[in-house]
Amino acid sequence: MKKILFWVIAFLITVSTVFYQRKTGPTHPVSGKIPVNESEIAYKLERAHESTRDYEIKIEVPDREISGYLTYKRYKTSDSWINIPMVRKENSLIGSLPQQPPAGKLEYKVMLSFQEKDISLTAEESVIIRFRGPVPAAILLAHIIIIFLAMLFSARAGIEALDRRGNPRKLVLWTVGLLFVGGLILGPVVQKYAFGEFWTGFPLGHDLTDTKILIAMAGWIAAAIAGRGGKPARRWVLGASILLLVVFLIPHSLLGSELDYSEMEASSTVPREIVLLHP
């Protein structure tokens, strides 16, 4: 019964951590509601999109006195803002942002116009959308599941380390294996499909997602070494478990791969070199 309870607690910790990371990450959609002419306009604006097609924005606006347009420019450039009228189709206003190369970003706003007054859905804030290459569903799903299991076994090992009668050694080995496969094998494969590079974290770049997995892996390898010979190495295991928890609480894709448009324009070929920039 105690072991079942420990697994339930580990599962709840894992699910809560994943939910928090998804909600706080820079790729989570921006959503809300805004009052316009006695109507409440709901919106959901994406911050991640595949680079194979334009990003279509559809806002439900039944009031036909309200029109709209998109304004955008390439992120971190001196480009002028470009305005694109939104087209009305029945009760919706629809507009599209042009597709960008993998890791390319656009800064945009959705503007509603009523009685010669323009209203931004997101007030003064712009929305940043990053484009990515398509990742095969099987690879992406395997990556997500195995990383989830690594976090689950990590939490369970940490709980086991707190039990003086328990020995977390097997859980440590499972965690190391899952984290290695999910984070250091499938993770780079996903990165390659999405942004054209296998690894953009330390020491090659500043991608925090890659770097934090490397740090977590180092912590668990240290715990595994400390437990050689079947020793519980409780402090090492608990420390590695807490480290991975902290790593997972850092929003996903923070300081992620980002295309430097100035580098792209400086080349005479069609470059796709990703230069990591600080936000």
Per-residue pLDDT tens digits for 147-202: 999 999 999 999 999 998 888 999 999 999 999 999 999 999 999 999 888 987 77
- Asked whether residue 206 carries a pLDDT value surpassing 90, the answer given is no
Strand 67-74 to 105-114 pairing: antiparallel
- Asked whether residue 240 carries a pLDDT value surpassing 90, the answer given is yes
Judge whether 178 and 151 are in contact, CB under 8 Å. Answer: no
Judge whether 161 and 237 are in contact, CB under 8 Å. Answer: yes
- Asked whether residue 269 carries a pLDDT value surpassing 50, the answer given is no
What does CATH list as the number for 37-132? 2.60.40.10
The pLDDT of residue 278 is 33
- Grade residue 100 by pLDDT with cuts at 50, 70 and 90: very high
Share of the chain above pLDDT 90, in %: 69
| Domain range summary for the chain, segments of one domain joined by + | 2-25+135-266, 37-132
- Grade residue 92 by pLDDT with cuts at 50, 70 and 90: very high
Alpha carbon distance, N-terminus to C-terminus of the chain: 48
Task: Give the DSSP per-residue string, the chain.
Answer: -HHHHHHHHHHHHHHHHHHHHHHHSTTSPEEEEEEETTEEEEEEE-SEEETTS-EEEEEE---TT-EEEEEEEETTS-PPPEEEEPEEETTEEEEEEPP--TT-EEEEEEEEEETTEEEETTTTPPEEEEEE----HHHHHHHHHHHHHHHHHHHHHHHHHH-TT---HHHHHHHHHHHIIIIIIIHHHHHHHHHS-S--STTT---HHHHHHHHHHHHHHHHHHHTGGG---HHHHHHHHHHHHHHHHSPTTTT---B-HHHHHH-SS----B-----
